[in-house]
Amino acid sequence: RKEVEQDPGPFNVPEGATVAFNCTYSNSASQSFFWYRQDCRKEPKLLMSVYSSGNEDGRFTAQLNRASQYISLLIRDSKLSDSATYLCVVRLYGSSNTGKLIFGQGTTLQVKP
């Protein structure tokens, strides 16, 4: 079983749609959670952190459910510019992990006009 699992998609949605991505993680030592965005042939860029209390940044909302080991990202009013691959990222703590990041394979979003 992969440590961080995402539905690879692609998710094809029309402009203005609301789309949700899910991610599950297996390591209970996971302590910090993030969503990154990666455009085609570019580096990943931090989109937002994820907290148990939720985190909202404009059209983007991230949620964490520690009991279920589940992370989500909701994008409202999708724009063409939202087309990218979204990476779910988990940071492990502990002396043996040294803050290692575990990356999901990514979920591809294609927003159509």
Give the whole-angstrom CA distance, residue 97 versus residue 73.
Answer: 26
Minimum CB distance to other proteins smaller for 17 or for 31: 31
Per CB under 8 A, the segment of 9-17, 20-28, 43-51, 63-71 that binds other proteins is: 43-51
Which two structure tokens, joined as six digits, stand for 54? Answer: 């939720």
Q: Is 4 in the site for other proteins (CB under 8 A)?
A: yes
Cα-Cα-Cα-Cα dihedral sign, residues 77, 107, 86, 61: positive
Q: Counting contacts by CB under 8 A, is residue 99 touching other proteins? A: yes
Q: 3-class secondary structure for 13-27?
A: EECCCCEEEEEEECC
CB of 85 to other proteins, least distance (A): 10
Query: Which residue among 7, 27, 74, 91 contacts other proteins (CB under 8 A)?
Result: 91
Residue 81 or 98 having the CB closest to other proteins = 98
Q: Which residues bind other proteins (CB under 8 A)?
A: 4, 8, 32, 34, 41-46, 49, 51, 87, 89, 91, 98-101, 103-106
